[in-house]
Amino acid sequence: MWEMFMSSAQMMLKGKLFRDNGMVIRQWAIGFLVAVALIVLLGKFILPVWAAAVIGGFVTGALMPYLFKDLKYN
């Protein structure tokens, strides 16, 4: 299991894991910005920060399969 993780991590860092690395970065950034926006807005105006973090993490985790559905591996 560790070997598979290390192999994937090395390929990712070398830029050989995905066909379109720009798309991977773009989709990841969209998910990151959604998470930050949810946590900050909910934590500042509506909920305690811990609850905002839980909700932001849940929503972002649910969003990731949609964002990454079109990624192609090499």
Read off the pLDDT band of 73 (50, 70, 90).
confident
What does pTM read for this prediction? 0.77
- In this predicted structure, what is the pLDDT of residue 36? 95
Q: Identify the residue whose tokens are 């798309």.
A: 23
CA–CA separation, 61 and 45 (whole Å): 22
Chain centroid to Cα 35, Å, comes to 9
Mapped onto helix, strand or coil, the DSSP state of residue 74 is coil
Q: What is the pLDDT of residue 15?
A: 84
Tell me the domain boundaries of the chain: 2-67
